[in-house]
């Protein structure tokens, strides 16, 4: 387990540094293409609820997907992190004005908004998951908190990982508690998970 953790830390540091080196113009072009790929996918088209993340720093900017989904009448939710037990709960927002600074300096839904309930029947849910790198089986190296792994341990919606093509590796180290996504989407295409 220690070797896996050490290898993950090394890969995280290496690829975060590499992502920081990409120019804003290059990232913006890739972000736009990833959003177009996601918006044209069947998994997006048939979803009623989108569980998204609010991009920070050099993460793939998926805010155009959130705006298009809201315009299309889909419900959009973002997570609030509980730093004590590394869990997260998604809350529905009506606009970006419903967001505030939260855990780790991330934008989170303000308190008092309606929560997404996984047991809600009759909805097609799509979760878009950020990462530093993915592999072709859908495993990821995130930021080390295990929030998505814990969430997927309780509820398994359709899931799409978004990452730049050069950050899609042949394989990444993963342990028994690491969860994979169904599909990985880059600016160049879509790759099925395991």
Q: Give me the CATH number covering residue 32.
A: 3.40.50.10420
- Domain region containing 35: 2-192
| 43 and 158 Cβ atoms separated by less than 8 Å | yes
Q: What is the pTM of this model?
A: 0.92
* pLDDT computed for residue 32 by the predictor: 98
Rounded Cα distance, 136 and 170, in Å: 6
* pLDDT computed for residue 4 by the predictor: 76
What is the total count of domains within the chain? 1
Rounded Cα distance, 81 and 91, in Å: 11
* pLDDT computed for residue 146 by the predictor: 83
Provide the Cα torsion 191, 138, 164, 169; round to 10°. -100
111-150 burial code (b ≥16 CB/10 A, e <16): eebeebeeeeeeeebbbbbbbbbbbebbbbbbeeeebbbb
| 127 and 155 Cβ atoms separated by less than 8 Å | no
Q: How many Cα atoms are found within 13 Å in the side-chain-facing hemisphere of 71?
A: 7
Pull the structure tokens for residue 155: 């509820």
* pLDDT computed for residue 105 by the predictor: 80
Binned average pLDDT, 10 residues per bin, the chain of 194 residues: 78 94 97 97 95 94 96 95 88 92 86 88 88 93 87 90 95 84 94 71
């Amino acid at each position: 387990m220690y070797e896996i953790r050490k290898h993950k830390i090394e890969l995280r540091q290496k690829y975060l540094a590499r992502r920081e080196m990409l120019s804003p113009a290059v990232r913006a072009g890739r972000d736009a293409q990833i959003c177009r790929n996601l918006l044209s996918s069947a998994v997006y088209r048939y979803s009623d609820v989108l569980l998204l993340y609010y991009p920070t720093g050099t993460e793939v900017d998926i805010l155009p997907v959130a705006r298009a989904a809201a315009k299309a009448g889909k419900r959009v939710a973002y997570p609030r992190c509980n730093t004590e037990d590394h869990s997260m709960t998604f809350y529905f927002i009506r606009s970006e004005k419903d967001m505030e600074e939260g855990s780790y300096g991330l934008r989170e839904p303000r308190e008092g908004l309606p929560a997404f309930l996984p047991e809600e029947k009759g909805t097609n849910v799509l979760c878009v998951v950020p990462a530093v790198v993915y592999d072709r089986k859908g495993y990821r190296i995130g930021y080390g908190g295990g929030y998505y792994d814990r969430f997927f341990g309780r509820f398994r919606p359709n899931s799409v990982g978004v990452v730049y093509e050069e950050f899609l590796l042949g394989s990444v180290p993963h342990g028994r508690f690491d969860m994979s996504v169904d599909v990985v989407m880059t600016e160049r295409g879509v790759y099925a998970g395991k």
